[in-house]
Structure 1
Amino acid sequence: MDPIDPVHGTATLLLIAAAAVVVLLFLIIKVKLHAFIALVLISVVTAVAAGIPIADIPTALTTGFGSTLASVALLVGFGVMLGRLLEVTGGAQVLADTLVNRFGEKRAPLALGVAALIFGLPIFFDAGLVVFLPIILTVARRFGGSLLFYALPAAGAFAAMHALVPPHPGPVAAGTLLGGDIGVILLVNLPIALIAWYVGVYRMSKVLGRRFDVGLPSLLFGEENDGTGSSGDTDTKTQAPPTFGLVLGLLMIPLVLIGFNTVLSTLIESGTIAEGNILVDGLILLGNTPVALLITVLAAIALLGTRGGRTLGETQQLLDSSLGPICSIVLITGAGGMFGGVLQISGIGDALTTSLGGLGIPLLLQAFLIATALRVAQGSATVALTTAAGLIASQAADLSNVQIALLVTAIAAGATVLSHVNDSGFWLVSRFFGMDEQTTLKTWTVMETTLGLSAFAVAAALYPLVS
């Protein structure tokens, strides 16, 4: 659904957005109203207050809800199935042990972050998070302490790669709109993403982990176990764990398939490969994220599901039991997308960018602030990236490819900061890691902000050198 023509002025729309967020947080944190109910309620009230025609409000609500579920529900479903199989068969423990043995116990969070950076190059944030979840929990279970020490470096790595580095859709779309060279953007943004991750995520995770003692969640994999790799689940059979090579091979399936999809799609968009090639289209289909995860789950069932004498019927029951607890995650994430969609359709995002567009500030800072405004207004980092790039594209006509790459960095940095209740990723992190909304704001939101600010600081330092 396209944005409506605003019926209120910019100031009024901004007040409506601010009031909606404040009331939503009050309902969830103070009143203790269930987040799903609160999000739907505030979405309806905001739609009415912002002037969306009454007859169009149901469409506005379902558009944001449905588009978010379309991208998240399948990933979460397949991801939790794969994670459950890895967890109960000892595969996650094997991978965690190997990573820790290579890096050492004290650098276990660094090991998780580096692995996530590698996997995050072709894999989107939400898909990477669900695949890595059992590994994060297994390492945290082994060494104890706050879950944030282990969860934030990995989750932040996926966030950094998704926002800053081609071939992810946000930076690719922004670079294309600005007329930049995607290869140059990749070469410039990749080292910036690594620096921003180390400063804004890894170092910050140590601070946040000391301040907030977040325990292991029981939502996905049951109660905390004794550290042997067995969660006490009655479906867990006594067995020799799978080899490291087998576990790594399973995790490489989505990495390779999604990588093919990303690279081939980018080559088609650039005109390097012609459209309509059956082989290319087939590889792109297999690399579609839900399809790639489906293939991975089927492979895991075949290679892990019947280990230790478990029958296919017992494996089916195991997978079925893994899906029940994620209903809340899926619904809350969809409702977060609904709220963000209402803010976008109502024109609140456009009102924010209009109020910033004519301030006469430097282009790099202007790009960062506009993307930040869009991020805060409607939640989606990808939407903020593409919209902000379109708004400033006319000012980038005479820039070099390196300058455009740094401009993309600034936009991506702004589109990363201040993740909050209208961002579906906020709710994924909150529910996957068992944090309440207030704790998520004090940890995930802070870390996303330091990640974005770190990336912008590097871009701002480099921009005068190439101007």
Structure 2
Amino acid sequence: MTTQLILAALAGIATIVVLIVWLKIHPFLSLMAGAAVMAVAAGVPYTHVFTSFTAGLGETLAGVGLLITLGSIIGTLLIASGGADQIVDTIMAKTPAKRLPWAMALIAFIVGIPLFFEVGIVILIPVVMFAARRAKLPAVLLGIPALAGLSALHGLVPPHPGPLIAIDSLNANLGMTLGFGLIVAVPCVIISGPLLGKVMARWVPIPAPDRYAVQENSEGEGKRPSFGTSIFVVLLPVLLMLARTVVEMMGQEGSGFGTVLVFIGTPLIALTITTVVAMFLFGFLLSKTRDEVNSLVGSSFGPIAGVLLIVGAGGGFKQTLVDSGIADQIAQIMSDAALPPLFAGWLVAVLIRLATGSATVATITASGIMAPIAAGLSAPETALMVLAIGSGSVFLSHVNDAGFWMVKEYFGMTVGQTFKTWSLMETTLSVVGLVSVLLLNLVV
């Protein structure tokens, strides 16, 4: 029976890999097909092949999907109001040229909290290229720190989809994971960003592409929110969720004030509050009409439809893993192998990331596999398991990852140059993330 279940898991994962990598099928349909193959191979009657899948999909969208949607609304309002431009312009105006790589990392770190990775690239890379042309610096010198900041936040810090999925699958404490994630992200960004970028700029000393030579920063003309207002909205959900964690760690959740903080620090409530605040500060107070604000809110849904479907399908795949008994069997094998749980979670995510090219699929699958092991861990260890899996999920982006081609085209690099910069940066970030998680585990 054990052999059958292991083979079923391999068949399901292999199906996903073949469909995504070789046949270029959309990850949603690939995950759905992989779950069906795995269920049948595990002995589930064909009449119930999607029973666990649909249950997992619904449960995941009910929990994680709402948070992703609210995060998208906040990000859209931040961009449309000029708030993102205000953060970027303010930091750049106060930074000498030699400190620009560090400024880019800081900008990406701040802006990357509420924005999806792809959206962050679209916003920041043109700014990076314009700054590189203006300062006569290699594109990689400023670009790698910005990419490192975006990637670290994407893999480690909620409300990004990957960490939220892992938190949901492993029943981790969101506030604790967020706090640990910010701590782990700092060395990841510093080492794989400004420090490594300085070396890479000597290997690939290309200038910013010519199309950025005459670019003017005209976005966000007219009334824009202040720097303080923009930063406040970005950090508000983080502060609310961290406040809840502090109250719980102090054992004050039963007090009157503590009860209020625990409530408003609940992820759904924190992001709902931030969404309302963003609508006022980035909309109505900037003289936007109700229809204009509603239009911006509506425009935030389309770009995340695919993300929501992939995340939901991933939840269905994970639930199939669990209900069929496969996750328990793989967890037992991991336990028998005597691998440290945090390293095992990172390794599983790395293998799936290399195979599929998707950080989200890697996080989803690794979380499902590691859930039985996580059930026996303490709350801090479970939070660190989320971060270990998140670190593994960004390992060695290569030709089967859409992000690889996105970066290549934006920077005007060859495939070889992209491997020497972007792929190496992702690998370094992943390893530094694992080391930071293991070190943090020694003191919490």
TM-score by length of 1: 0.65
Change (3 A) 1:327 1:299: same
Match of 1:254 among 237, 243, 251: 237
Aligned positions of 1:295-314 closer than 5 A = 295-306=273-284, 309-314=287-292
For 1:98, the equivalent position in structure 2 comes to: 90
Distance 1:29 1:383 in 2: 21
Contact 1:85–1:305 (8 Å) recurs in 2: yes
Distance 1:261 1:460 in 2: 25
Contact 2:73–2:300 (8 Å) recurs in 1: yes
For 1:273, the equivalent position in structure 2 comes to: 252
Aligned positions of 1:40-51 closer than 5 A = 40-51=32-43
Change (3 A) 1:14 1:72: same
Contact 1:64–1:337 (8 Å) recurs in 2: yes
Change (3 A) 1:266 1:69: farther
Aligned positions of 1:213-228 closer than 5 A = 228=217
2:148 is aligned with 1:152: yes
SS in 1 for 2:300: helix
Contact 2:342–2:384 (8 Å) recurs in 1: yes
After TM superposition, the structure 1 stretch with the greater mean CA deviation from structure 2, 371-380 or 85-94, is 371-380
Shift of 1:92: 0.6
Change (3 A) 1:449 1:339: farther
Change (3 A) 1:302 1:326: same
State the aligned residue count.
391
For 1:318, the equivalent position in structure 2 comes to: 296
For 2:341, the equivalent position in structure 1 comes to: 367
Match of 1:63 among 22, 46, 55: 55
Contact 2:147–2:193 (8 Å) recurs in 1: no
Distance 1:446 1:52 in 2: 42
The letter of the residue matching 1:23 is T
Structure 2 regions of 5+ residues with no counterpart? Answer: 130-138, 209-213, 353-361, 395-399, 410-414
2:135 is aligned with 1:141: no
SS in 2 for 1:16: helix
Change (3 A) 1:453 1:303: closer
Contact 1:82–1:131 (8 Å) recurs in 2: no
2:393 is aligned with 1:419: yes
Change (3 A) 1:81 1:282: same
Match of 1:31 among 5, 23, 26: 23
Change (3 A) 1:30 1:114: same
SS in 1 for 2:51: helix
Distance 1:64 1:322 in 2: 25
Match of 1:345 among 293, 305, 323: 323
Distance 1:51 1:262 in 2: 42
Shift of 1:73: 2.1
After TM superposition, the structure 1 stretch with the greater mean CA deviation from structure 2, 25-34 or 322-331, is 25-34
Structure 1 regions of 5+ residues with no counterpart? Answer: 1-7, 121-127, 176-181, 216-224, 231-235, 394-403, 421-425
Aligned positions of 1:432-443 closer than 5 A = none
After TM superposition, the structure 1 stretch with the greater mean CA deviation from structure 2, 196-205 or 68-77, is 196-205
SS in 1 for 2:393: coil
Contact 1:82–1:300 (8 Å) recurs in 2: yes
Distance 2:157 2:30 in 1: 31
Distance 1:286 1:116 in 2: 27
2:44 is aligned with 1:52: yes
Contact 1:84–1:322 (8 Å) recurs in 2: yes
Distance 2:329 2:200 in 1: 34
C-alpha offsets along residues 268-323 of structure 1, whole Å, 9 cap, x if unaligned?
A: xxxx2354x44323222222222222222222222221356431112212221222
For 1:423, the equivalent position in structure 2 comes to: none
Distance 1:347 1:63 in 2: 16
Distance 1:346 1:447 in 2: 37
SS in 2 for 1:333: helix
Distance 1:287 1:19 in 2: 41
C-alpha offsets along residues 229-260 of structure 1, whole Å, 9 cap, x if unaligned?
A: 53xxxxx8x52322111212222321222222
Distance 1:347 1:435 in 2: 41
Aligned positions of 1:185-196 closer than 5 A = 194-196=186-188
Shift of 1:97: 1.6
Distance 1:417 1:445 in 2: 14
Contact 1:409–1:459 (8 Å) recurs in 2: no
TM-score by length of 2: 0.68
Distance 2:36 2:306 in 1: 20
The letter of the residue matching 1:265 is E
For 1:221, the equivalent position in structure 2 comes to: none
C-alpha offsets along residues 390-412 of structure 1, whole Å, 9 cap, x if unaligned?
A: 5689xxxxxxxxxx98x889856
